[in-house]
Copies of this chain bind each other. A is one copy, B any other.
Amino acid sequence: MKTRLKDIAQATGFSINTISHALRDEPDIAEDTKHYIREVAKKLDYIPNIPAGSIKSGKSRILSVILPDIGNPHFTIMFREIERYFSDIGMTPFFMNTRERAIDEINAVRLSIGQNVDGVILCPTQTETESIRLLEKSTIPFILIGRRFDEPINTDYVICDDTEGARIATEHLLSLGHRKICCVRVNEHISSDRERFNGYCQALSEAGIGVEDDLILHLTLTEEENRDAIRSFFASRPDCSAVLAFNDILAYSIIREAIAVGRRVPEDLSVMGFDNICSDYPLPIGLSSVSVSKKNIARIASELLYSRITGKEQNPEKQHIIVPTRLFLRETTAPPVADRQ
């Protein structure tokens, strides 16, 4: 059975209070006493009952990290970094998936609040704002990561420079000679989707090229199959020679379908991703991609959250942090074959 402070008190003859203080290394207990108590506690395999402590102290030393899909390496890498940061300071982040569903997000937020977490890192689905309202009402510090809301919602956030990332990626495709460039979009509620699309439009417009509606390919972020949408896009726009994908997972989906229908990458189709997950996974085809410093974003968000939790961040102004992006060119982008039909 679980050992309680009471058991240690009985075993040592000290009061529960003394045990509690000794195990938390407070200065008001004699060193000898502390040593003795710690020894007995260890022998009895004492493990502090955190919920019991937290209802009084209000501190649980746990955090929740609410992300759309841990199956996406983009979020996996961020979570690992967050975990590393907080476990070093004795706090435990735990993770929940929203699967890009509003209801799952609200549940995750409610559960986090209900668990008395010390802080929340959230990548919102952006199809509702109830979760933000609940967090604000709870007074639990929270940071948005990867996505941001427009006015009037004002929160701390850490994102990457989506607009600029998409702009330089599109610019690069243009500089290779591509003119019919597909842009993959996923969900117009999501800020990164809108901003990447804006970057794409900017680059085209700077090159004097108009945005064609049917070069916009709408795919889904979640587990549903994108194959049919991709294939019918290929069929409808055979003249398209390059794709800017919303993320690397979708880029690889496109590469797979392209190969399946007999198009070579990059000879027949250049594909540009967004995320640079190749830097962390041994993928057999190196994907040209926009690198978004996932670890930086995660670390900055962790630091900011921690400073909010400890109250060190006195600045009541919400922090809006935009991490720069850069281009990584690998094997999936090349000039278009000039004499294609």
Which A residues contact B (CB, under 8 angstroms)?
A: 1-2, 45, 47-52, 54-55, 60, 62, 64, 70-71, 73, 76-77, 79-80, 83, 87, 92, 94-97, 104, 107, 110-111, 113-116, 134, 137-139, 249, 252-253, 255-256, 259, 280-285
Contacts and interface: CB of A to CB of B under 8 A. Distances in A.
Contacts of A282: 249, 252-253, 255-256
A256 B64 CA distance: 36
B71 A76 contact: yes
A126 B146 CA distance: 36
A71 B77 contact: yes
Given A2-B113, A48-B114, A62-B115, A252 B284 contact: yes
A110 B47 contact: yes
A13 B54 CA distance: 28
A184 to B, nearest CB: 13
A283 B280 contact: no
Nearest to A95: B95
Contacts of A96: 83, 92, 94
Contact of A83 (B51, B97, B113, B281): B97
A285 B283 CA distance: 9
Nearest to A258: B284
Contacts of A71: 73, 76-77, 80, 280
Given A94-B95, A94-B96, A50 B284 contact: no
